[in-house]
Amino acid sequence: MPNFVTDLTQEESLRQRNTLNLIASENYPSPKCLDLTGSQWSLKYGEGYPGKRYYAGNNLVDELELFVMQKALEVFKAQDEYGVNLQVLSGSVANSLVYLSCLQPQDKILSLSLADGGHLSHMHDTSSWNKFFEHQTYGLTQIGERDWQIDLGEYEAKIAEFKPKLVIVGFSSYPKKFDFVPMCQIAHQHGAMVLADIAHISGLVASGLHSTPFGYGVDGADFVATTTHKTLRGPRGAMLFAKNYRPDYASSLPDKPLIDIVNRTVFPGLLGGPNFAQIASVGQCLLEVLGSEQYPDKLTFGEYSQRVLTNTKLLEKTLKSLGQNIVSPTETHLCLIELKDTYDSLHIQQELESIGVIVNRNTIPGDKKTAWKPSGLRFGMPALTSRGISEDQIVELANIINETIENLSAKHILIERVHNITNKLNWWYDKNISTEETFDLLDDIKFE
């Protein structure tokens, strides 16, 4: 008897296996991580925190949550100054929980504008939080013909003029590195708290390949939110860190550690039972980052993260050499190109999808077009790096992308060329053979 749900699940698995995924916010967690998301842990309710639950039967979830909290703090070297909440479910929810923790109605939030690379959950015109908070944005400054970055002078001027209570530092589509410390210091000097949203870059931060908002005493971020499924390569989920003391500039808050205020806001303030399957899977991901567990390709997490950066640079360099316009030189896991003015980014995204290349259209700094049909395309390399893409395959992929954008080649030939790549990439999830066997079978192909 056909089962629509299981058949569709199998189809989605095949779709993922047979396409080239360049979505910068997606990745392929280890099979162990993925298995844990559907594990027995998901059946247990446990409102509250370790040692203080409202239901019985929580001795093991207590152990689990405490262990994963400890690993989360260890990964980001944050043990001395921060606590962490693992119950926040998603990045957008984590950001909202910060607003609810530290702001009162009509308080002001400042964040990077959406067009320049900010995120929807950092307020913006469409956010439901506009009912409760005031919001303004800072932007990027053009420093070269094809180079945009945060200008600290303008950032400070905006803070001085708007006087926000919370400044958000951390972005969704920003290809350059930036330093958290000066951005936090400036905000603090003007009496504002800082939320660092490291959702996109948390894997790079954990590997020491991007500046960190942790470890700078009072000059670090007050709250740090991250998702767990992007460069960190865990399951869909999030974590929220907060200082374990109240800094002077946060004197509008009760005189308590910021993490205590966050914990109270998460439960019983807003959320119900935590998803322990998600927490267990995040635990597996953190063990892989720390090196006590291995991703099936057997690279260390640091080696993987370095490859993400190298691969993104190579993709960008090749696209540029083929005549595509880069927005800013990439220093991270993603690059952005600006399409020619008459091109339709939605149509090009769909054309790429039709040959098996999965990307997203994106606004670019100063974009005059709409968010539905913006001027740019965004490419990220975390997912394909997890599948072991080689340098030659990246060059071929850039050529395929360029030929699709410029309408240079027949579709059936492009489809075959994509297939030639996907066929040889690692795929870790086949259920009928063990992970180890999958690796052995694909190892020869990967390095041929």
CA distance 152 to 141: 10
Q: Give the per-residue contact string, 290-309, with ligand DSN (x = CB under 6 A; - = no).
A: --------------------
Cβ nearer to ligand DSN, comparing 197 with 297: 197
Coil, helix or strand at residue 289: helix
The rounded radius of gyration (Å) of the Cα atoms in the chain is: 22
CB 378 → ligand DSN: shortest distance, Å? 8
CB 199 → ligand DSN: shortest distance, Å? 6
CB 440 → ligand DSN: shortest distance, Å? 34
Q: Give the per-residue contact string, 233-272, with ligand DSN (x = CB under 6 A; - = no).
A: ----------------------------------------
Q: List residues with catalytic annotation.
A: 45, 47, 197, 227, 230, 236
Element (H, E) at 73: helix 59-75
How is 217-268 classified by DSSP, letter by letter?
Answer: GGGS-SEEEEESSSTT--SS-EEEEEESS--GGGTTS-SS-HHHHHHHIIII
CB 386 → ligand DSN: shortest distance, Å? 16
Q: Which of 25, 85, 101, 202 binds ligand DSN (CB under 6 A)?
A: 25
Cβ nearer to ligand DSN, comparing 25 with 318: 25
Q: CA triplet 127, 128, 129: central angle to 5 degrees?
A: 85
- 1: Cα within 13 Å, side-chain hemisphere: 2
Q: Are 286 and 45 in contact (CB under 8 A)?
A: no
Please give the residues from 93 up to 132 whose contact with ligand DSN meets the rule CB under 6 A. 119
Chain residue at closest Cβ approach to ligand DSN: 25
CA distance 176 to 164: 25
Q: Which of 185, 186, 184, 187 is nearest to 198 (CA)?
A: 184
Indicate the DSSP class of residue 295.
-
Using CB under 6 A, count the residues that bind ligand DSN: 4
**Could you tell me whether strands 20-21 and 357-358 are parallel, antiparallel, or unpaired per DSSP bridges?**
parallel
Q: Which of 83, 91, 117, 365 binds ligand DSN (CB under 6 A)?
A: 91
Q: Which of 172, 312, 349, 393 binds ligand DSN (CB under 6 A)?
A: 172
Cβ nearer to ligand DSN, comparing 172 with 265: 172
CB 198 → ligand DSN: shortest distance, Å? 12
Other C-beta atoms closer than 10 Å to the C-beta of 135 total 19
Assess 363 for contact with ligand DSN (CB under 6 A).
no
Cβ nearer to ligand DSN, comparing 184 with 359: 359
Q: Give contact residues for ligand DSN (rule: CB under 6 A).
A: 25, 91, 119, 172
